[in-house]
Structures are given as structure tokens and as C-alpha cells.
């Protein structure tokens, strides 16, 4: 059985191989075909979230690039041959000199070039690498020039790339505006569990996903701290420090979003003297305790675009419960189309006007949401 493995390799400007540390994820091979086997479509949708969350990258800018592209895929409904993004959308800081912008964009290109997928067959020992970027193009090649980043995806990965848009447009708007890499990373991880009241991660796994896990040598063995005799971590020697440092910024930036949380360490059962070791980290979703009215208010404050479409949906008597439940599936574009169709149907002189907006529009809106969800 072929497996699909993602490897994100850290790349240094001085040496493309120095301190490389592959992070891998296994998926069935069928999902990379242009028309994936339906059996794996749901696997793709769920695991792309995990794939995205496990990217060990050194800047917030690359994550912002992927978020901007995901928004474009969401809008178009398909993956284009290439995407172009101006530097000002990637580098949010203002007042930077052109040399500094160029330096940061150069880093983005290096990082994107280091994303590589591996297709592996356990039975035959075959390993086939597939880079995320298509580096063979002559027209509009992947790279940076004249203030614009061009991203051309490897066409062999269409089945994976088109799952970038699993977030709603509203969620993507939140995502690309975070200023902290930790906030973006934690948002990705928590989004996969937002239907739950809380989620717990084993502390070692959590540290690995947050870029502060065990440090490995070239032979794939953990480096040992000579003083303690225990594995050496990339950063943050203690688990408590790792939890504190990786959540301090997300606690501020995710406040008011669906992924707003409270965090706490989970300790092992007491055995003898002293404080027991931390074995897990727990995230309780604050959003779950909010009323529907509070959620709608928060969305409106966070997104002017949501506030606008919400106001117009209410004119058609769409109930808040349906907006919360189905707007993510319907999407802003289709919601606007529906309202235009209702307007045409309800126009003066129409042969079949809407007799009861609340009954008719809610029924159509909910049906559209369920259809797109399936």
C-alpha cells in the first residue's frame, strides 16, 4: 500500500541541509490523484488540516501566503496554475526599507521551496518525492520579483492543494491577520476540534507541533542534555515554560474568535513527594459557553464583511441559528447569489412572489447549506 508523507524541511540560507528536521504525515496515495477516490475525500479534508498544522516554518509570512492562496482557491473553487501576491499583503509591517522587505521575501521563497511530499511504498521500499512548488515553469515561475511573489504548485499535488480552502472565508480573514506564528499554528490545531468543549494534547506531541519539541541529530536520534541525561529540546527546557511561551500571544490574538480558549497543564497521578510531571496540555473553548447573540456580535466586530452580509440576511428573515449553522457551508458568494435570486423572485410584477420570507428563505438557505456540506 502506498503511503503519502509530508516532509517540511527547515532550510538555512548558508546550507540547504544544515539542521534539517523532517516532519512527516502518512496518507493514502489515492488522495493525490486529480480525481481522488471518493473513499478518501473525507480523509483528505480532515488530514489537510493536520498537514498544515505540522509545518515547521520559521516565519509568520509563509503561513500568511498559504492563507491568502487558500482564500483565492475558496473564491475560485479550483486551483489555478499559479498565484501572484504582492509583498505588501505578506509583510504587514509598515515603514520597512526595500532591502528589509526583499530579505524577508527571500526567506519566504526559501521556506516554500523546502516543503516536500514523499510517496512511499512499504512493500517495495519505493520513495517518490514531490515538492510543493512547481520549479520547472518558464512562464510565471515560482519565485519573487518586482515586489510580487509567484506561487506555482506542483500539478501532481492537485488532490491535496485544493483542500487548502477547508476554512471558511471568515476564518481565513482571521487567520491571515494574526501577527504571531504561534497564534496561526494554534488556530490551525484547535480548528480541527472546535466542535468539542475542550481538547487535550500529549505534551510531547504538542511541543513537536509547536516547534519546541525534542531536538534530533542527523541519524534521527534525540540529542541528550548532558546535565540531566534527558532528551534536549529545541527551545524551552521545561514543559510549563513551553506552554506559557507558546500560548501567551494566542491567548490575546484568538480572543473573540471561535478558537478563543483557556489553557491549563494536565499532571500525572501523584506518586510520592513533589509535583507530578506534566503529561498533557488542555484547551477549553470559551466560545462554547457564549450565547448565540454573543457569537453573532463577536463575528460582526471581527469581520466587517460578515457584519454586512448578516445585516442583509436578516432583511430576508434568516434566523440567527441558521446563519450560525449554515453560513460557513453556503459561503459569502453563494449567500449573495441567493439574496439576488430572492430579490428577483420578489420583484414588483413577479408571477411567483415570496409569500412568507421567514418560511421560504430559511428553508432555501438551510437546504443550500446541507447540500454544500455533503
Query: What is the predicted pLDDT for the residue at 237?
Result: 87
Query: What is the predicted pLDDT for the residue at 231?
Result: 87
Contact 179/253 with Cβ under 8 angstroms? Answer: yes
The better pLDDT of the pair 372, 178 is held by 178
Q: Is there a single domain that holds both residue 9 and residue 110?
A: yes
Question: Is pLDDT at 11 greater than 70 in this prediction?
Answer: no
Query: What is the predicted pLDDT for the residue at 45?
Result: 39
Question: Is pLDDT at 373 greater than 60 in this prediction?
Answer: yes
- Of the three residues 288, 320, 350, the one that is the final residue of a domain is 288
Averaged pLDDT, 240-261: 91
Q: What is the distance, to the nearest Å, from the Cα of residue 249 to the centroid of all Cα atoms in its chain?
A: 17
Question: Is pLDDT at 337 greater than 80 in this prediction?
Answer: yes
Query: What is the predicted pLDDT for the residue at 119?
Result: 56
Q: Say which range, 54-63, 235-244, 247-256, has the weakest mean pLDDT.
A: 54-63
Averaged pLDDT, 159-184: 71
Q: Is there a single domain that holds both residue 237 and residue 355?
A: no
User: Looking at the domain assignment, is residue 275 inside a domain?
Assistant: yes
The better pLDDT of the pair 313, 177 is held by 313
6 φψ region: left (φ > 0), alpha (ψ -120 to 50), beta (else): beta
Number of folded domains in the chain? 3
- Of the three residues 288, 310, 329, the one that is the final residue of a domain is 288
Q: Say which range, 68-72, 118-122, 310-314, has the weakest mean pLDDT.
A: 118-122
Q: Is there a single domain that holds both residue 87 and residue 135?
A: yes
Q: Is there a single domain that holds both residue 37 and residue 73?
A: yes
Q: Is there a single domain that holds both residue 57 and residue 141?
A: yes
Give the confidence band of 52 by pLDDT, cuts at 50, 70, 90.
very low
Q: What is the distance, to the nearest Å, from the Cα of residue 25 to the centroid of all Cα atoms in its chain?
A: 16
Q: Is there a single domain that holds both residue 234 and residue 135?
A: no
Domain that holds residue 57: 2-177
Burial class (CB in 10 A: 0-12, 13-18, 19+), 149: buried
Q: Say which range, 151-160, 242-251, 287-296, 331-340, has the weakest mean pLDDT.
A: 151-160
The better pLDDT of the pair 289, 283 is held by 283
Q: Is there a single domain that holds both residue 341 and residue 216?
A: no
Question: Is pLDDT at 197 greater than 70 in this prediction?
Answer: yes
Count of CB atoms within 10 A of residue 311's CB?
Answer: 10
Q: Is there a single domain that holds both residue 23 and residue 153?
A: yes
Give the confidence band of 31 by pLDDT, cuts at 50, 70, 90.
very low
Query: What is the predicted pLDDT for the residue at 249?
Result: 94
Question: Is pLDDT at 336 greater than 90 in this prediction?
Answer: yes
Of all residues in the chain, the percent with pLDDT exceeding 90 is 21
According to the per-residue pLDDT averaged within each range, which of 1-5, 180-184, 211-215, 249-253 is highest? 249-253
Angle CA 82–85–87, to nearest 5 = 145
Query: What is the predicted pLDDT for the residue at 251?
Result: 94
Give the confidence band of 163 by pLDDT, cuts at 50, 70, 90.
low
Give the confidence band of 242 by pLDDT, cuts at 50, 70, 90.
very high
The better pLDDT of the pair 291, 12 is held by 291
- Of the three residues 239, 259, 288, the one that is the final residue of a domain is 288
Amino acid at each position: 500500500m502506498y503511503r503519502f508523507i509530508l516532509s517540511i524541511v527547515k532550510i538555512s540560507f548558508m546550507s540547504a541541509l544544515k539542521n534539517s528536521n523532517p516532519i512527516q504525515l502518512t496518507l493514502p496515495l489515492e488522495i493525490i490523484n486529480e480525481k481522488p477516490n471518493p473513499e478518501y475525500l473525507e480523509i483528505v479534508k480532515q488530514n489537510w488540516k493536520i498537514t498544515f498544522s505540522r509545518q515547521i516554518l520559521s516565519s509568520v509570512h509563509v503561513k500568511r501566503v498559504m492563507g491568502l492562496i487558500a482564500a483565492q482557491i475558496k473564491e475560485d473553487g479550483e486551483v489555478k496554475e499559479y498565484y501572484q501576491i504582492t509583498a505588501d499583503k505578506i509583510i504587514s509591517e509598515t515603514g520597512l526599507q526595500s532591502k528589509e522587505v526583499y530579505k524577508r521575501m527571500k526567506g519566504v521563497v526559501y521556506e516554500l521551496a523546502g516543503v516536500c511530499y514523499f510517496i512511499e511504498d512499504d512493500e517495495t521500499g519505493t520513495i517518490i518525492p514531490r515538492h510543493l512548488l512547481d520549479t520547472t515553469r518558464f512562464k510565471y515561475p515560482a519565485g519573487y520579483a518586482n515586489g510580487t511573489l509567484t506561487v506555482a504548485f506542483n500539478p501532481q499535488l492537485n488532490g491535496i492543494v485544493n483542500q487548502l480552502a477547508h476554512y471558511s472565508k471568515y476564518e481565513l480573514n482571521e487567520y491571515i491577520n494574526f501577527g504571531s506564528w504561534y497564534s496561526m499554528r494554534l488556530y490551525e490545531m484547535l480548528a480541527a476540534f472546535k466542535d468539542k468543549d475542550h481538547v487535550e494534547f500529549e505534551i510531547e506531541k504538542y511541543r513537536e507541533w509547536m516547534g519546541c519539541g525534542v531536538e534530533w541529530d542527523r541519524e534521527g536520534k534525540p540529542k541528550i542534555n548532558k546535565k540531566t541525561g534527558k532528551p534536549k529540546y529545541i527551545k524551552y527546557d521545561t514543559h510549563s515554560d513551553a506552554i506559557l511561551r507558546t500560548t501567551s500571544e494566542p491567548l490575546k490574538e484568538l480572543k473573540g474568535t471561535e478558537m478563543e480558549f483557556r489553557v491549563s497543564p494536565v499532571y500525572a497521578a501523584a506518586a510520592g513527594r513533589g509535583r507530578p510531571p506534566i503529561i498533557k496540555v488542555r484547551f477549553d473553548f470559551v466560545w462554547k459557553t457564549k450565547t448565540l447573540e454573543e457569537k453573532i456580535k463577536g463575528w460582526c466586530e471581527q469581520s466587517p464583511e460578515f457584519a454586512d452580509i448578516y445585516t442583509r440576511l436578516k432583511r430576508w428573515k434568516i434566523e440567527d441559528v441558521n446563519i450560525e449553522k449554515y453560513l460557513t457551508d453556503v459561503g459569502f458568494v453563494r449567500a449573495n447569489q441567493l439574496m439576488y435570486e430572492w430579490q428577483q423572485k420578489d420583484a414588483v410584477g413577479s408571477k411567483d412572489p415570496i409569500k412568507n420570507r421567514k418560511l421560504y428563505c430559511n428553508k432555501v438557505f438551510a437546504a443550500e447549506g446541507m447540500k454544500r456540506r455533503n
